[in-house]
Amino acid sequence: MTKTILRALAGEALPTPPIWMMRQAGRYLPEYRATRAEAGDFLSLCYTPDLAAEVTLQPIRRYNFDAAILFADILLVPQALGLDLWFVTGEGPRLSTVTTADQVAALKPTDAIHDTLSPVYETVRILSRELPQDTTLIGFAGAPWTVATYMVAGRGTKDQGPAHAMIAADRAAFRALIDRITDATIAYLSAQIEAGAEVVKLFDSWAGSLQGDDFTEFSLEPARKIIAALKARHPGIPVIAFPREAGDRYIGFARATGADCVALDNSVSADWAAANVQKDGCVQGNLDPRHMVTGGADLVAETRRIVDAFRGGPHIFNLGHGITPDANPDNVALMIETVRGA
């Protein structure tokens, strides 16, 4: 029998939605923290295939999710393109920056990224062997706009201001940067698929800060190019797109990009999304991650409400964003029990 997530991505409305969780391998799990300590630092964990596979498998063993998502980081691509990448404890990632046309031109060519990223592909190969037969393996990458915001600023920013400033100062240079990331992302995801990923997901975490034509040019259009290229190389491969906080621009995003599923953040209601987004195909989401911290009756009620809202069409249950480090693992179990019993 075809795996449940693949059935949902193909447009089938299932009596019980398949379920996985963004950042399901992460700091809320004690077994993750133990493996992270063994690795020594975050990048070593990402680039050590046995350990990266282990933390990917941990939530599957504990919860039996319907899918595992590769453990990696969206900033490995800019590192592979030649930027320095490091993590500051308690503060997050830091990158050397790209802010001029000359710096864009100096990035490594796309065909050179695989040397750096080869451990990631080995992680995928390990997972494709070791995951349970009914568990779908999801690969992923950051979408070009979101990756670009880090490359321009050298870090995460509240409003992605540095990237918007580069657009205003030299739109052609920023467009060239987006094109370079787009090409690298196609190559990266294609290699994940060749290694065994059955689905891939594009995370555009900062799509909501783009307005008007900028949203079309820097979020929607790169997603369309990536999805078209992947489907040309790998016919039938499903792609999930996540233009986080897109609001009304979720409407028609699947049609415009060719995505098989649109992941929804929790700033839109499930009822609204069922009426306006799910009509075009599969949707994923969209429980507020705070329920993984607070738990209780509110978690159960909201989970049931989302399942009921999307019952009329293809749906993959997930959070509206990644689970947070302060989440209670028992609340994850309660959420899964509620979904599967709803």
How far apart (Å, rounded) are the C-alpha atoms in residues 95 and 73?
Answer: 13
How far apart (Å, rounded) are the C-alpha atoms in residues 53 and 75?
Answer: 18
How far apart (Å, rounded) are the C-alpha atoms in residues 323 and 292?
Answer: 7
DSSP annotation of 111 reads: G
Q: Residue 43, SS3?
A: helix
- Spatial neighbors of 275 by CB under 8 A, at least 6 apart, are none
Q: Residue 126, SS3?
A: helix
CB 223, CB 234: distance < 8 Å:
no
Buried b (16+ CB within 10 A) or exposed e, 307-342: bebbeebbbbbbbbbbbeeebebebbebbbebbeeb
How far apart (Å, rounded) are the C-alpha atoms in residues 41 and 184?
Answer: 25
Q: Which residues are catalytic?
A: 23, 27, 36, 73, 150
Matching residue, tokens 């680039």: 47
